[in-house]
Amino acid sequence: MEIKLVETAAGEVEYSVTGKGIPVLFVHGGHSNCHETLFHKGFDLEKFQLITPSRPGYGRTPLDNHRSPSETANLFISLLNELNIDQAIVYGISAGGLTAISLAAEYPDRVNKLILASAVAKKWLDENDVVYKAAQKIFNPAIERLTWGMVNIFFKLFPGMIAKSFHKQFTKTPMHQLRREDIQELADTMKHFRSKEGFLNDIDQNIEEDNLRRIRSSTLIVHSRNDASVPFEHAEHAHNLIENSRLIPLDNEWGHLFWLGEDSEIPIKKTLDFISE
């Protein structure tokens, strides 16, 4: 996997690219960046070119004037232009959902298919919400590096305990003995996490319902009823407003992170089947 930094017509973008074939543009979730590969699971690198930009405020992509989903969508279209890609499958994850929706709504000729995975599809957190207020403190750009540094230290020292604590934040399923491979995969994913300026910007984002109504791309919505991070109502909201959409509700172990667990093969296969249709 190559990590690159490119100056586009709309601004600077850091991105990773791997594989060859049909372009898939991943719009990552909160705290993430172009280094994450969890959502690449199942993709054949001989058939797909996987492109993952760091969203504005994450990684080395500056926040600058790309604070809204629409502004970020414009930046990513400029990236596709630089890569000489006319059309791509857009795969929006979690807090990246609003940007993925904007891409499909505002640039219909550039989006072949749209996938919304555990995705935010409307205003996520209320300003009076306890989670919103906590995020303002622990993920503030002034201290978020310390927050994630401590998470990684404790993950190395007490992997099972830390995995269980995050399990509660991702899923409503009862606590149980976690598989060693899931703990390791979670640790490998989260070691790249940084909130920087991106996460506090994420929790203030919103999108008009008309944007969802404008989408004409064939759309797959994959979301767990057990999601403890982004409520299932986001999936229902998107499905009700996007005309050509299909909703796959999950009853999986890891809720929000449906790429983990013994049952992860089901949503991954259904996503790939949708792409191949």
Q: Which residues are catalytic?
A: 94
Q: How many Cα atoms occupy the beta-carbon half-sphere of 169 within 13 Å? A: 7
3-state SS class at 214: coil
Nearby residues of 96 by Cβ (< 8 Å), 6 or more positions away: 26, 27, 28, 29, 55, 119, 120
Q: Which H or E run contains 4?
A: strand 2-8
Q: Give the span between the Cα atoms of 225 and 172, in whole angstroms.
A: 9
The residue type found at 61 is T
CA angle 45, 26, 116 (to 5 degrees): 115
User: What is d(CA 186, CA 259) in angstroms, rounded to the nearest whole number?
Assistant: 10
Distances (CA, A) of 151 to 28, 36, 220, 258: 20, 17, 33, 21
Listed residue (49, 9, 193, 25) closest to 99, CA to CA: 25
What span, in angstroms and rounded, lies between the C-alpha atoms of 83 and 123?
32
Tracing tokens 């000489």 back to the chain, one arrives at 84
Q: What does the alpha-carbon distance between residue 32 and residue 51 come to, in Å, rounded to a whole number?
A: 14
Residues 89 and 112: beta-carbon distance below 8 Å: yes
| 235 within 8 A of 221, measured Cβ to Cβ | yes
